[in-house]
Amino acid sequence: MSQEIVVTIPLAGISTGTRKVQVEANGFKGTSCKAATEAIINAIGTVEREVNKPEMFESAERTEQIRRDGGNGTQNW
């Protein structure tokens, strides 16, 4: 799944407080969504409510490759 940040700005109701700007991060795992949306959240100002999706509690995938032949500065076994 690709990663995207969706910002919803209502056409009316912001000044009266009846509607709010919404920021939604899709396709992120772990807390990487917070880093991705930080600048937008800071520009908006006060956060009234934060809803964490189940994906936030999944760990981001990391892979490492170890070569046994010692090429490219890797360890010989």
pLDDT computed for residue 72 by the predictor:
60
Rounded mean pLDDT of the chain? 83
pLDDT tens-digit readout, 49-72 = 899 888 888 876 666 667 776 556
pLDDT computed for residue 35 by the predictor:
92
Beta bridge partners of 5: 25
Burial 51-72 (b: 16+ CB within 10 A, else e): eeeebeeeeeeeeeeeeeeeee
Helix (H, G, I), strand (E, B) or coil at 46: coil
